[in-house]
C-alpha cells in the first residue's frame, strides 16, 4: 500500500486538519500501536481499551498520521489527524477504495473447518502464476479483512481472503465488501453452534459468502454436504463441487496417508499424484477445493503438485514439533470443534510409534447449550488400543471425562480446570517418554499454546 494522506482523506470523506499534510505518504495501516511499521496510518478502535488513548504512542512508534473519532473531543494538536465519524467504518471504506484501485481477482474462503489450510493451499497454487496476497494469520473478520486488503502490494493480481464468522450477517458484510470472483465453502460443522443453534442455520450463514459474488463468479463447495447442495440451487452463478463421490465435479480416486503427508489422485488429473505435507485424510477435501481453483485459473496439475510440495502453512494447524524429552508433538492448538477433533484423532491414532500415544484436549468453545453433549460425543474417537493416556482441560471436558470412564482405567484419565495448566504441564513432564507421540488440541481461548511451549 502506498497512498498520500490527501488521497486517503478524500477516499473516506475525512476532515483533514490542514492541507499541508496532504503529501504525507502512508505505507500501511495498523490498529495496534505496539505493532506498526514506520509510515503507518494508525486506526484507533474501541474495544476493551479505547484506541484513542494510544494515538501519541503510535506516532512515537512510527505512525505518520492517525484517524480520530469526531465525538472524542479535540484531537492532539500538531499531529496529522483525519477526523471521521467512526474509525472502523473509515478503515472499511478505505479498504474498499484500495481494492477497487488495485482491482485484483478475489478468492474468498469460509467454512467450519479447513478455511485457513485451504487459504494457504489456494494462495500457493495461484502464486505459481500470479502475484498473490493472502490473509495474514487469522485476520478474517470486519477488522482483519480490511487490513489484509490494505496490505496488498500495487502489483497484486489475486487476493485470497479467509472469512470467519460468529453471527448472522457477518459474511454478508464481508462478501459485499470484497465482491469475490470465487467463493468457497469448505464444509459445514458445529463451530459457533452456540450462536446459531443448528447446522441448518450455520449453513444459511455460510452461504452469505455468495451474497457479494460477482455475476460472472464461481461458487465452489463440498458437493457431499446436503445442506450446501440444497442451498446452492438458489445461486445463479457458475458452480463447482468437490468431494468423494462421482457426482462431484472433482472427486478423489485414491488416498495414501502417513504421519507427515497425504498422497492422492483426483478425477480431474488421474495421472498426477498430489502430495500434501500434512497429516490427515481430511485435508484432501481442502486440497480438492484448492485444485478446483487451479482448474478454474488454468494452472497445470504439475504446477499445482509442486505448489503443494512447497506449501507454507499458517502455524499451529496440525504441525509436528519436537518436545524436550524427545517426543513428537502434533500441535493443533489454534482452534477446535467436534468435527475437527474427530478428524485429527482418527489420523493421530494411526501414527506408528514405539512409545505411547497421549492426547491433550482443551474445551471446544462456542457450542452453547449443546456443549456438554458434544464434548461427551467425542468418546467414539477414543480407542484404548490406540490411545494410552488422555489429559482433558476445561469445565466442558468433564462430560468427556465421565464418558471415557467406561473405556479407560481412571489412572489413564486426567482432568484439569482451565487455570491448572501448571499442574498439567508437570504431569506431562513426568509421564512423557522419548518415544511417545502427543496430540495437543483445543480452542484458542483455552490457551494450550502455553502447554505446547512448555513441552518444547
Residues 345 and 443 in one domain: yes
Question: What's CA 18's distance to the chain center, in Å?
Answer: 41
Residue 307 confidence (pLDDT): 98
Could you tell me if 211 and 285 lie in one domain? yes
Give the domain-ending residue among 260, 278, 309.
309
Segment holding 220, helix H or strand E: strand 218-222
Q: Are residues 29 and 146 in the same domain?
A: no
pLDDT of residue 194: 64
Check if the beta carbon of residue 28 is closer than 8 Å to that of residue 35.
Answer: no
Q: Is residue 415 part of a domain?
A: yes
Same domain (yes/no): 441, 361: yes
What would the pLDDT profile of 413-453 be if each residue is shown by its tens digit? Answer: 999 999 999 999 999 999 999 999 999 999 989 999 999 99
Who wins on pLDDT, 398 or 78?
Answer: 398
Joined grid coordinates for residue 372:
456438554
Is the pLDDT at 12 greater than 80? The verdict is: yes
Q: pTM for this one?
A: 0.92
Domain coverage including residue 26 = 3-85
Q: Is residue 124 domain-shared with residue 174, that is, in the same domain?
A: yes
Tell me: do 325 and 396 sit in the same domain. Answer: yes
If asked whether residues 230 and 352 sit together in one domain, one would say no
Point out the domain boundary residue: 85, 115, 132. Answer: 85
Flag whether 314 is in a domain: no
Q: Which of 72-81, 89-98, 122-131, 156-165 has the lowest mean pLDDT?
A: 72-81
- Tell me the C-alpha distance between 351 and 260, whole Å: 9
CA dist., res. 110 & res. 165, Å (int)? 8
Q: What is the mean pLDDT of residues 158-163?
A: 98
Residues 294 and 354 placed together within one structural domain of the fold: no
Query: With 70 as the cut, is the pLDDT of residue 17 above it?
Result: no
Asked if the structure places residue 99 within a domain, the reply is no
Looking at the structure of the chain, the number of domains it has is: 3
pLDDT, tens digit, 9 for 90 and up, residues 373-391:
999 999 999 999 999 999 9
Q: Which residues are annotated as a binding site?
A: 111-117
Contact 382, 407 (CB under 8 A): yes
Could you tell me the strand order of the sheet in which 81-84 lies?
15-16, 81-84, 65-69, 40-42, 28-30
Burial environment of residue 259 by CB neighbours within 10 A (0 to 12, 13 to 18, 19 or more): middle
The verdict on 134 and 244 lying in the same domain is yes
Output the domain CATH number for residue 150: 3.40.1190.10
Residue 299 is assigned to a structural domain of this protein = yes
Q: Is pLDDT above 90 for 63?
A: yes
Here the CATH number for the domain that contains residue 52 is 3.40.1390.10
Who has greater pLDDT, 342 or 369?
A: 342
Cα separation, 192 vs 171, in Å, equals 14
Question: How much of the chain exceeds pLDDT 90, in percent?
Answer: 84
Q: Which residues are annotated as a binding site for ATP?
A: 111-117
Least confident range of 12-26, 122-136, 287-301, 319-333: 12-26
- In degrees rounded to 5, what are phi and psi of residue 244? -115, 5
What percent of the chain stands above pLDDT 70?
A: 98
Q: What is the pLDDT averaged over residues 258-266?
A: 95
Residue 313: pLDDT band (50, 70, 90) is confident
Domain boundary among 309, 337, 357: 309
Q: What is the mean pLDDT of residues 102-130?
A: 96
**Residue 316: pLDDT over 90:** no
The pLDDT score that the predictor gives to residue 433 is 97
Confidence of residue 190 (pLDDT cuts 50, 70, 90): confident
Residue 98 is assigned to a structural domain of this protein: no
Q: What is the mean pLDDT of the chain?
A: 94
Q: Among residues 287, 265, 267, which one has the least CA distance to residue 277?
A: 287
Write down the pLDDT at residue 193: 66
Query: Which residues, listed in sequence order, are joined to residue 256 by a DSSP beta bridge?
Result: 263
Same domain, 126 and 247: yes
Q: Residue 93: inside a domain, yes or no?
A: no
- Residue 391 has a pLDDT of 98
CATH number of the domain within which 344 lies: 3.90.190.20
The answer to whether residues 257 and 128 belong to one domain is yes
Is 429 inside any structural domain? Answer: yes
Band of residue 74 on the pLDDT scale cut at 50, 70, 90: confident
Residues 154 and 201 in one domain: yes
* 193, part of any domain: yes
Q: Which of the four pLDDT bands, split at 50, 70 and 90, describes residue 116?
A: very high
Instruction: Look at residue 18 and tell me whether its pLDDT is greater than 70.
Output: no
Amino acid at each position: 500500500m502506498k497512498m498520500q494522506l490527501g488521497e486517503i482523506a478524500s477516499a473516506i470523506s475525512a476532515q483533514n486538519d490542514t492541507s499541508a499534510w496532504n503529501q504525507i505518504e502512508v505505507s500501511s495501516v495498523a490498529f495496534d500501536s505496539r505493532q506498526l511499521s514506520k509510515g503507518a496510518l494508525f486506526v484507533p478502535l474501541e474495544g476493551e481499551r479505547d484506541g484513542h488513548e494510544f494515538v501519541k504512542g503510535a506516532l512515537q512508534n512510527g505512525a505518520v498520521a492517525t484517524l480520530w473519532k469526531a465525538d472524542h473531543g479535540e484531537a492532539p494538536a500538531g499531529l496529522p489527524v483525519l477526523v471521521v465519524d467512526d474509525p472502523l467504518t473509515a478503515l472499511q471504506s478505505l479498504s474498499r477504495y484500495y481494492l477497487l484501485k488495485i482491482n485484483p481477482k478475489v478468492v474468498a474462503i469460509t467454512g467450519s473447518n479447513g478455511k485457513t489450510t485451504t487459504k494457504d493451499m489456494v494462495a500457493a497454487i495461484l502464486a505459481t502464476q500470479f502475484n498473490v496476497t493472502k490473509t495474514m494469520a487469522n485476520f478474517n473478520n470486519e477488522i482483519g479483512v480490511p487490513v489484509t486488503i490494505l496490505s496488498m502490494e500495487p502489483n497484486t493480481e489475486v487476493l485470497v481472503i479467509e472469512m470467519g464468522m460468529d453471527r448472522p450477517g457477518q459474511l454478508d458484510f464481508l462478501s459485499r465488501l470484497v465482491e469475490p470472483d470465487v467463493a468457497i465453502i469448505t464444509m459445514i460443522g458445529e463451530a459457533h453452534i452456540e450462536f446459531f443453534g443448528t447446522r441448518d442455520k450455520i449453513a444459511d450463514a455460510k452461504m452469505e459468502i455468495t451474497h457479494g459474488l460477482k455475476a460472472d463468479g464461481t461458487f465452489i463447495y463440498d458437493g457431499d454436504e446436503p445442506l450446501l447442495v440444497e442451498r446452492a440451487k438458489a445461486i445463479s452463478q457458475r458452480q463447482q463441487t468437490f468431494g468423494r463421490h462421482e457426482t462431484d465435479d472433482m472427486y478423489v480416486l485414491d488416498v495414501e496417508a502417513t504421519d507427515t503427508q497425504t498422497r492422492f489422485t483426483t478425477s480431474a488429473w488421474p495421472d498426477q499424484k498430489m502430495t500434501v505435507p500434512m497429516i490427515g485424510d481430511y485435508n484432501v477435501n481442502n486440497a480438492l477445493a484448492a485444485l478446483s481453483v487451479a482448474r478454474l485459473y488454468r494452472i497445470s496439475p504439475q504446477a499445482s503438485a509442486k505448489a503443494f510440495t512447497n506449501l507454507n502453512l499458517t502455524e499451529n494447524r496440525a504441525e509436528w514439533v519436537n518436545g524436550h524429552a524427545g517426543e513428537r508433538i502434533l500441535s493443533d492448538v489454534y482452534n477446535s470443534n467436534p468435527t475437527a477433533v474427530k478428524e485429527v484423532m482418527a489420523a493421530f491414532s494411526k501414527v506408528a510409534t514405539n512409545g505411547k500415544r497421549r492426547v491433550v484436549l482443551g474445551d471446544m468453545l462456542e457450542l452453547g447449550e449443546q456443549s456438554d453433549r458434544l464434548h461427551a460425543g467425542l468418546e467414539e474417537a477414543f480407542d484404548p488400543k490406540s490411545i494410552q493416556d488422555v489429559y482433558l482441560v476445561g469445565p466442558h471436558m468433564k462430560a468427556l471425562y465421565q464418558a471415557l470412564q467406561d473405556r479407560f482405567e481412571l489412572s489413564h484419565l486426567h482432568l484439569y480446570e482451565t487455570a491448572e495448566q501448571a499442574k498439567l504441564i508437570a504431569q506431562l513432564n513426568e509421564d512423557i517418554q522419548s518415544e511417545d507421540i502427543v496430540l495437543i488440541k483445543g480452542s484458542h481461548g483455552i490457551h494450550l499454546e502455553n502447554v505446547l511451549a512448555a513441552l518444547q
